[in-house]
Amino acid sequence: MFMTRRQALLSSAGVMLAGLLPALPAAAQAPAATPRKGGVLTIHLGSEQRILNPALRASTGVYVITSKIIEGLVDLGTSGRPEPVLATSWEASEDGKTVTFKLRDGVKWHDGKPFTSADVQYSAMEQWKVHLNYGTTLQLYLEAVDTPDPLTAVFRYSRPMPLNLLLRALCDLGYIVPKHVFAGSNVLENPANTAPIGTGPFKFVEYQRGQYVIAERNPDYWREGFPYLDRIVWRFITDRAAATAALETGAVQISAYNGLPLADLDRLRTDPRFEVSTRGVEANVFNNTLEFNTRRKELADVRVRRAIVHAIDVPFFLENFLYGLGKPATGPIPSLSPEFFPNNPVPYPFDKAKAEALLDEAGFRRGAGGVRFTLRMVPIQNGEDVPLLATFVQQSLQQVGIRVEIVQLDIAGALTAVYRDWNFDLATGWHQYRGDPAVSTTVWYRSGSPKGAPWTNQYGWQSDTVDQLIDRAATELDPARRKALYAEFVKAVNEEIPVAMLTERPFYTATSNKVQNHHTTPRWDSGDCHDTWLAP
Amino acid sequence: MRILSLALRRLAASLPTLLLILVGLFLLLQLAPGDTVDALMAQMGGGDPAQMEQLRSFYGLDAPVLVQLARYLWRLVRLDLGFSAIYGKPVSSVILERLPVTLLLMGISLCFAFAAGMALGVLAARRANKWPDALISTLGLIFYATPSFWFGMMGIVVFAIKLSWLPAGGFEEIGTGATGLARVADIAWHLVLPVSTLALIFLATYLRIMRASMLEVLSLDFVRTARAKGLSQTGVLLRHVLRNALLPGLTLIGLQAGTMLGGSVVVESVFNLPGLGRLAYESVVQRDLNTLLGIVFVSALLVISVNFVVDLLYAKLDPRIVADR
Amino acid sequence: MSLLRRYLRSPAAVGGLVLLLLVVGMAFSAGWVFPRDPLSLAGRPLQWPGASPRFWLGTDNTGRDIAAQVFHGARVSLLIGIVATAISIGIGIVVGALAGFYGGWVDTVLMRVAEAFQTLPNFILLLVLVAVFGSDIQTVTVAIGIVSWPPSARLTRAEFLSLRSREFVQACRVLGMRDARIIFREILPNALPPVIVYASVIMATAILLESALAFLNLSDPNVASWGNLIGAGKNVLRVQWYVSAIPGVAILLTVLAVSLVGQGLNDALNPRLRSR
């Protein structure tokens, strides 16, 4: 009895000691703490992308899952710049038309076969170039990928490809999939699209549609000693309020990319159990847009467009509707992109008097009931803030005599109405900036996009100057000259303002403080988590 | 064997209705703005026209409408529900994955609503026109008048957020790997709020029906005869009255099976349950025709079978009625 | 008048009537009590009820006055309820009358169509109609009317089936009256009462359906409906739960009132059943 009592005392002391650790959050957060192996990390996802192949679908919803399983040539590291992953070094030729990548040796796919340059060639030519959204544009001038030996891949372009553009874009658009799994099959129907095979720190285990995806540690991972975690579980919770509840009860530990309602993000900011910040998401910035259909006679006049932007008090909107989670935008290139940000001021700040004056000057005086004219606005429901902005714009424009009717459509209907049928006067949605203006930003302004292509210039507006600036900048090899060209581009589009970028907003992530060593790179949530660990 | 032949005959009789529903819905959805590729683009956050063309031909969306309809019907005849554009899987497996959750939710809600409604209806009828009756009837009406999603949301606020007694949503805890009894208990705990929400509305209707038919039957001759013979109140109740009063309630189950699936769309949304209701909503928003038509097909079959079972039970309970009319 | 007296004998029915008059009163007076557009920005968002004297029921997450939206929302809900019910009954009566009067293959075809509508879950059909035809308030109202017609058709048909073999109908036939006249002038007025009473059920359902659509963000955002307000409050449910709670109570009371009035009417019109 005595022995058992003492044993009991000892074991309870052990329990007490273990129990003490979580009560000292400072100690748990100390950088000197040794990483603990083991544990299950649960990540929340608000929507289900259903195809787990980042070489086919470029979307943060896909990356959050697949980047832990599949790797690319490069990824953004703690320095904020592209660092070697499956590619160990690279160099570009003088004329910019050839880029040679040296690949890492000794890397194996999850099914045991070796990773070689043939996989890079296949991924680039058969998937990125043919199927990948934004990848097709990026690799438009890619002629071939030569593979002189199993560890060298040579990308040959017919037009100069700026190296900084390629490297930055490859962080998102450069995932490598195994040739031996995909070659010869119908790419879109291949079962590996929902049971991915990669070279990453975690191996795919299970995908239960509508519920979860599970991956477990890859024991043969090429980075020795990594990963720390045993498993990662991704839970699909589409109702955001439910997601907050899940985070607070510990059912999930991370919710990224504004997966929680803004009200909850604001509330959890001061909760000591969580970190709510933009740390580790600097690579992803988005704007709330206001798009004009310049086919409409009133909107064809640039003074009217400028007046409309002048009528919207963006700082008020940010402060009162978005809990201050953002700032006014100065153009399509955000301030969080130092390589390209032209450091210009907000083009049309809030000025109701000026708005009224411009509208009068353009010849649209107030008529019956104080209304000048009526516009139809289509919100493109990317997030909860889009209807809020739509309402705010409606209320703001009412003050200057423009009546706005909001047309409520679900997202497929909205995209069709705006980008295919051109059946709108105003539209509001999101513009996502992906690290380099050439990836997905300039396409909003360049003419020539066919009808029906979403998030492109379908406003009936065109400018030869802007087109030329875009084309020159896309092939300019000197980074300084590129930056200058984009500065001119921003100036030109701000002058004409066919689409107004109203707010500049980073994505917020809510992370439980149990997670260690997180958000250390600018696109961490879309990164591989190989060095993440959990405190007990 | 007789039941089987009856069932088959009922199915055959319902075929024109089924066809009407499916063809009608198919044609209706053609008029919707945007197709499944547009919804896919929205999900991905961008795409280019070449990719969209490719996807359209991959899903067979570039063929004329009548050809697509013909293809669909031809597949249906062979009991092939098609391929889901959004899920990248055959529709039948998508539905089979989600069906158990909805069946569980609807089944338990129906039983709960029926049982509770009947019990309360009996109580109300026994004290007809006195205050317990007024209280129960009014309560029933209040439940009927409450918007189900609002009730669900308030339930979450009170029981999950403020009191932390029940989970805020989901079907079960993931990643714990619980099996057997532990898993059943976990699921049951998660379903408490959703079932109460879904059952509440129908409870009111059963309550009223039960009360009304109880009152009607209580005054009939054979009841008075039974009482005269010296049977106790409870005995009379159980033996004779209940049996006859059950009948309208049963009919109602048949009528409401369809409405319940509609109600489950909202309840599954609020509580984040991976069921058919939510799937139906998603497939409308994502314009996934095959999945939506598949769900409608399955739910129609469900309604038809429930009605069939109700008719059989009806015949058993009331020997005056013959099963196949 | 004896109908009124019979109606007033039930306390529940009287309560329902009072409640309904209150809601109608809110709807009528909305323009005077809250003259400004209820959807305009009124003040700082998310103020609690009673926190500011200007906003009795607080403000929602877009800074709109909740009390104003509740009053104006009464108009919307009642209007939707009445119009959708009218459409639903209109379609139902015509279909039921034709099916009941002519019988035969007309009856079979029409009842198959009714069965189709009833087998298909009505909320899903509503979702599809709204996705196809849009979310503006007129479309939503018509769509709700369209998904609700089968029960009134069946009621009408049942009445017609029993009435068409009565003597007065045969007398009309002998007189050489045209079918249309017999249907609409002679039989219909006798067949209407059960349908009219059922109207309250349809109206209650219509209000609930619109609010469910609004909750899913599929209703008209240019209109101050109670459902829109509940949907808006979804995102701030944890702290500012009153944004969703208040309009929910409003819907509850309105549907309760309509149901009580309907039940009262039913009991008053069928005194035989009531007396127990």
In this structure, are residues B17 and C116 in contact, taking their beta carbons and an 8 Å threshold?
yes
Q: Beta strand A373-379 with A402-406: parallel, antiparallel or unpaired?
A: parallel
Residue-level pLDDT at B175 = 53
* ipTM > 0.90, yes or no: no
Q: Where are the domains of chain A?
A: 5-50+200-282+507-534, 70-191, 285-504
Q: Residue B39: is its pLDDT beyond 60?
A: yes
In which band, very low, low, confident or very high, does the pLDDT at B174 lie, cut at 50, 70 and 90? low
Least-confidence region, from A84-93, A485-494, B79-88: B79-88
Cα A165 from Cα C256, distance rounded (Å) = 63
In which band, very low, low, confident or very high, does the pLDDT at A16 lie, cut at 50, 70 and 90? very low
| Nearest-by-Cβ selection for B20 from C113, C237, C259 | C113
pLDDT in tens, A253-276: 999 998 898 888 988 999 999 999
Least-confidence region, from A225-234, A377-386, B233-242, C17-26: B233-242
Please list the alpha-helical segments (H only) found in B156-288: 180-218, 221-228, 233-236, 242-271, 276-285
Cα A99 from Cα A162, distance rounded (Å) = 10
Residue-level pLDDT at C70 = 93
Architecture of the domain delimited by C2-274: Orthogonal Bundle (1.10)
Q: Closest Cα to residue A98, out of A174, A172, A158, A175?
A: A158
Residue A222 has φ and ψ, to the nearest 5°, of -70, -20
Residues of A in contact with B286 (CB under 8 A): 412
| Nearest-by-Cβ selection for A136 from B44, B48, B271 | B48
Residue-level pLDDT at A410 = 82
Residues of C in contact with B220 (CB under 8 A): none
* Cα–Cα–Cα angle for A408, A412, A415, rounded to 5 degrees: 80
In this structure, are residues A133 and B46 in contact, taking their beta carbons and an 8 Å threshold?
yes
Cα A416 from Cα B35, distance rounded (Å) = 8
Report yes or no: A190 at the B interface, CB cutoff 8 Å.
Answer: no
Report yes or no: C146 at the B interface, CB cutoff 8 Å.
Answer: no
Cα C126 from Cα B262, distance rounded (Å) = 10
Interface of A with B in 205-234 (CB under 8 A): 208-212, 214, 231, 233
Residue-level pLDDT at B221 = 67
Interface of C with B in 247-276 (CB under 8 A): 248, 251-256, 259-260, 263, 273, 276
Strand pairing partners for A328? A503
Tell me what the mean pLDDT of segment C135-144 comes to: 91
- As a whole number, the mean pLDDT across chain B is 80
Contact B51 A131 (CB under 8 A): yes
Contact A262 C134 (CB under 8 A): no
- Distances in whole angstroms, Cα of residue C20 to Cα of each of C12, C15, C244, C251: 12, 9, 22, 12
Report yes or no: B64 at the A interface, CB cutoff 8 Å.
Answer: no
pLDDT in tens, C77-99: 899 999 999 999 999 988 988 88
Closest-CA distance, C134 to chain A, in angstroms, reads: 7
- Distances in whole angstroms, Cα of residue C25 to Cα of each of A232, B148, C14, C71, C246: 58, 26, 16, 9, 18
Cα A432 from Cα A505, distance rounded (Å) = 10
Q: Which residue has the higher pLDDT, B298 or A28?
A: B298
- C40, C41, C130, C239: best mutation site toward chain A, by most A Cβ within 10 Å? C41
- As a whole number, the mean pLDDT across chain A is 88
- B17, B25, B26, B252: best mutation site toward chain C, by most C Cβ within 10 Å? B17
Residue-level pLDDT at A154 = 94
- Neighbouring CB atoms inside 10 A of C29's CB total 12
- C236, C239, C240, C243: best mutation site toward chain A, by most A Cβ within 10 Å? C236
In this structure, are residues A110 and A199 in contact, taking their beta carbons and an 8 Å threshold?
yes
Beta strand residue intervals within A243-386, DSSP E: 254-255, 274-277, 285-292, 327-328, 373-379
Residue-level pLDDT at A467 = 93
Strand pairing partners for A215? A204, A232
User: A285-504 belongs to which CATH class?
Assistant: alpha beta
Residues of A in contact with C239 (CB under 8 A): 263, 267
pLDDT in tens, A45-86: 988 877 899 998 888 889 999 999 999 999 999 888 899 999
Q: Residue A377: is its pLDDT beyond 80?
A: yes
Cα A396 from Cα A390, distance rounded (Å) = 10
Cα B90 from Cα B86, distance rounded (Å) = 10
Contact A137 B48 (CB under 8 A): yes
Residue-level pLDDT at B320 = 60
Residue type, A381: Q
- Distances in whole angstroms, Cα of residue A101 to Cα of each of A31, A175, A475, A477: 35, 14, 20, 18
Residue-level pLDDT at B240 = 66
Residue type, A350: F
Category of B54 on φ-ψ map: left (φ > 0), alpha (ψ -120 to 50) or beta: alpha
Least-confidence region, from A457-471, B234-248, B272-286: B234-248
| Nearest-by-Cβ selection for A238 from B48, B94, B272 | B272
Report yes or no: C29 at the A interface, CB cutoff 8 Å.
Answer: no
In this structure, are residues B12 and A388 in contact, taking their beta carbons and an 8 Å threshold?
no
Q: Residue C238: is its pLDDT beyond 90?
A: no
| Nearest-by-Cβ selection for C216 from B28, B150, B269 | B269
Q: Where are the domains of chain C?
A: 2-274
Residues of B in contact with C244 (CB under 8 A): 150, 153-154
Residues of B in contact with C152 (CB under 8 A): none
Q: Closest Cα to residue B106, out of B251, B259, B300?
A: B259
- Neighbouring CB atoms inside 10 A of B166's CB total 18
In which band, very low, low, confident or very high, does the pLDDT at C234 lie, cut at 50, 70 and 90? confident
In which band, very low, low, confident or very high, does the pLDDT at B323 lie, cut at 50, 70 and 90? very low
| Sign of the torsion angle spanned by Cα atoms A490, A495, A496, A500 | positive
Interface of C with A in 59-88 (CB under 8 A): 61-63
Q: Which residue has the higher pLDDT, A31 or A281?
A: A281
In this structure, are residues B275 and B268 in contact, taking their beta carbons and an 8 Å threshold?
yes
Both tokens of C15, joined, read 């309560």
- Spell out which chain A residues touch chain C, with contact meaning CB-CB distance below 8 angstroms: 240-241, 244, 261-264, 267, 320-321, 381, 384, 387-388, 390-392, 394-395, 398, 405-410, 413
Cα B8 from Cα B128, distance rounded (Å) = 44
Topology of domain A70-191 in CATH is Dipeptide-binding Protein; domain 1 (3.90.76)
How far is it between the farthest Cα atoms of chain C? 74
- Distances in whole angstroms, Cα of residue A425 to Cα of each of A305, A419, A499, C154: 11, 12, 12, 46
In this structure, are residues A282 and A339 in contact, taking their beta carbons and an 8 Å threshold?
no
Cα B98 from Cα A224, distance rounded (Å) = 41
Residue-level pLDDT at C275 = 41
Both tokens of B278, joined, read 């939510």
In this structure, are residues B290 and B81 in contact, taking their beta carbons and an 8 Å threshold?
yes
Interface of B with A in 84-103 (CB under 8 A): 86-89, 94, 97-98
Q: Which of A294-298, B51-55, B92-96, C262-266 has the highest mean pLDDT?
A: A294-298
Topology of domain A5-50+200-282+507-534 in CATH is D-Maltodextrin-Binding Protein; domain 2 (3.40.190)
Least-confidence region, from A526-530, C164-168, C237-241: C164-168
pTM: 0.82
